[in-house]
Amino acid sequence: MENRTCEECNEKLVGRIDKRFCSDYCRNVSNNRKKRLTSKTVRKINRYLQNNYRILEKLNPHGKQKISKKRLQDEGFTFSYITSIYTTKKGSHYHFVFDQGYLQLENDWYMLVKRED
């Protein structure tokens, strides 16, 4: 039988064969350390994406809404942070932040949409 030890404190593990930590404390310490190692750039990008998502969700409660670029900017929307682009057969480009998206119209107006799966 193999001697298994806790990944955090190296104490001997007793119990399930797939157990990795001896306690919730060791599991939490290990997971928190891994989370801290996530690069600052990734955290910054995720903050922008979360902020953009909240703004689109707030301004588009019914799934489709026309809105000005100024209003989006006033809310703090950052156009350079999106998760995907969908191009229609007609060549229109919808920019998405997860399931919330927008289509650029004329004269600094946008159509906000929600992708339905």
Cβ contacts of residue 39 below 8 Å, gap of 6+? none
What band does 1 get if pLDDT is binned at 50, 70 and 90? low
In tens, the pLDDT along 85-111 reads 999 999 999 999 999 999 999 999 999
- Give me the pLDDT at residue 107, please: 96
Q: What's residue 40's pLDDT?
A: 81
pLDDT score recorded for residue 22: 95
pLDDT exceeds 60 at position 62 = yes
What 8-state DSSP symbol labels residue 83? Answer: S
Is residue 55 a contact partner of residue 79, using CB atoms and an 8 Å limit? Answer: no
